[in-house]
Amino acid sequence: MPVILGGNTGIYLASLAPPAPSLLLDTYPNAAVAYSLRKLRTAYSGNCIRVRRSVDNAEQDIAFSGNDLDTASLLTFCGAGNGFVTTWYDQSGNANNSTQATAANQAQIVSSGNLILDPITNKITTTWTTDAYTLTNTITTVQLMYHYMVFNRTSNSSSAAGLSKSNNTFPTMLRWLATLGDMTTRLNSVIIHSTNTTTGSNLVTTLRDGSNVVKMFRNSIDLTTGTSSNIGATFDSWGNANASRNGGNYAELVHWNNDQEANRTGIETNVNTYWNAY
Amino acid sequence: MLINGYKYTNEQDAIDARKQCADYYGLPVAPEDVTQYWVDYETAELDNPIFWYIVFDSSIEIILGEPTEFEVITEE
C-alpha cells in the first residue's frame, strides 16, 4: 500500500508499493519449454504468440499486457475476421518455440472478431481441430521429468496430446486417446493410467520419478502409475502430427527435465488459480 | 479410418498439390511468416503400398476438385 508522507502532502513512496506477484516459473524455474496464453516468468521479455489473420493471411507477434495476453492488440490485428496461432513462443528462456506452418493445422484464437473463450472456464483459449505444433529443437527424455497441460477435452472423438513424437510412436508425456479414452504416457511401452471418455476441463500432470515410476494426475487426482526406465528418446512436437492430431481447447503446457514432484501441489495451485481448470 | 480427400500414389504429386493450394491463397504472404502452406499432405505409412493424401477441406475443392473416400490404416 502506498504511504503518504506528511499527512496530506500527496507525496508517495513508490518503493513501498507491494511487490509484483511472483509468476509460475519465478517460483519453479528451469523449465525445458513453457507455452501459455499468460506470462509465466517475470524476466521473459519476448512475445506470447504469433498470429495469422484470416482476412489476408498476414502475421503479427502478440505480446503481453501485464501478465496476460495483450488481447487488445490481438483483436485490433484480426479485425472482424478470424485469428490463428502460428507460433507459441517459449517462455522458459530456451527459445524452443513451437510452430505450425500449415494454415489448416493452426489453432484458432479469434472468431469473427471475438476472443475464443473456453465454455467451461470462460478463460481465453485456443481451439484445436486437427492441429499440432513442431518444436524448434527436440527435447530428449531424461530420468526426472515433470509435465502438465491445461486443456478442455471438448469431444471424445478427438485425441489430446502433450509433448510427443510427431511420427505417432514414442515418447509422449500425455496422450488421451479418442473413443477409447485411454489416458497414456509412452516413454517406451504404453502405460494406461486411466480410461476416461468424459469431456471437460483438465489440468493433467505427468511425471517420472527417480525410481522409474511414471505418475499421472488429472485435476489433482492420482491415477494409476506404471514404470519405465527408458531415456534418450526425443520429443519434437506439441500434439501428434499425424492423422490423429489434437482436438479441444488448449491454453498452457510446461515441461521440466528435472524433479518437480515435491512442488506439484504448488504448481497445480498456481495453474488452477489462473485457469480455473477444476 | 475412412478419409475424405485426395489420394496420391507418389509423394511428388502430393507435394505439387500442396503447392497449388499455397499458391492459390498467396502463401507465404511475407518472407518472415511462419505459414507456408494452406493444407499439408499426410503419409499413409502403415498401408502397403504406402500412399500420400490430403484431407478434404471445402476451401481447396476449387483447386483440387472433387474429393474421394478411401481407407487409411492408423494406430488408433
pLDDT in tens, A106-141: 999 999 999 999 999 999 999 998 889 999 999 999
pLDDT digits (tens, 9 = 90+) for B20-33: 999 999 999 999 99
pLDDT digits (tens, 9 = 90+) for A151-171: 999 999 889 999 999 876 789
Q: Which residue of B has its CA nearest to A103?
A: B38
Q: What is the pLDDT of residue A5?
A: 41
Q: Which residue of B has its CA nearest to A241?
A: B42
In sign, the C-alpha dihedral spanning A5, A11, A15, A19 is: positive
**pLDDT > 90 fraction of chain A, expressed in percent and rounded:** 83
Q: Report which DSSP code applies to A22.
A: P
Nearest to A116 by CA among A69, A68, A83: A83
A156 vs B1: CA distance, rounded Å: 16
A101, B38: Cβ pair inside 8 Å? no
ipTM over 0.85: yes
A153 vs A20: CA distance, rounded Å: 33
Tell me the CB-side half-sphere exposure of residue A76, using CA atoms within 13 A.
Answer: 8
| pLDDT tier at A20, thresholds 50, 70, 90 | low
B74, A102: Cβ pair inside 8 Å? no
Considering only the beta carbons, identify the residue of A103, A179, A244 that sits closest to B35.
A103
Contacts of A177 in chain B (CB under 8 A): 76
Looking at the structure of chain A, the number of domains it has is 1
B38, A104: Cβ pair inside 8 Å? yes
The CATH code of the domain that includes A162 is 2.60.120.200
pLDDT digits (tens, 9 = 90+) for A30-57: 999 999 999 999 999 999 999 999 999 9
Whether residue A14 has pLDDT greater than 70: no
Q: Tell me the residue range of the domain where A232 lies.
A: 22-43+117-275
A30 vs A213: CA distance, rounded Å: 22
A256 lies in some domain? yes
A158 lies in some domain? yes
A31 lies in some domain? yes
Q: How far is A75 from chain B (nearest CA, A)?
A: 19
Q: What is the pLDDT of residue A16?
A: 57
A182 lies in some domain? yes
CB A153, CB A182: distance < 8 Å: no
A6 vs A3: CA distance, rounded Å: 10
A220 lies in some domain? yes
Average pLDDT of chain A is 92
B29, A243: Cβ pair inside 8 Å? no
Q: What is the dihedral of CA A25, A28, A33, A38, to 10 degrees?
A: -30
Tell which wins on pLDDT, B44 or B74.
B44
A238 lies in some domain? yes
CB A116, CB A124: distance < 8 Å: yes
CB A29, CB A51: distance < 8 Å: no
Whether residue A246 has pLDDT greater than 90: no
Q: Which residue of A has its CA nearest to B56?
A: A104
Q: How far is B9 from chain A (nearest CA, A)?
A: 18
Whether residue A252 has pLDDT greater than 50: yes
B26, A57: Cβ pair inside 8 Å? yes
A243, B74: Cβ pair inside 8 Å? yes
A266 lies in some domain? yes
List, as one string, the DSSP characters of A222-265: E---EE------EEEEES--STT-EEEEEEEEEEESS--GGGHH
A174 lies in some domain? yes
Q: What is the pLDDT of residue A166?
A: 83
Q: What is the pLDDT of residue A185?
A: 96
A102, B39: Cβ pair inside 8 Å? yes
Question: Region A214-228: what's the mean pLDDT?
Answer: 97
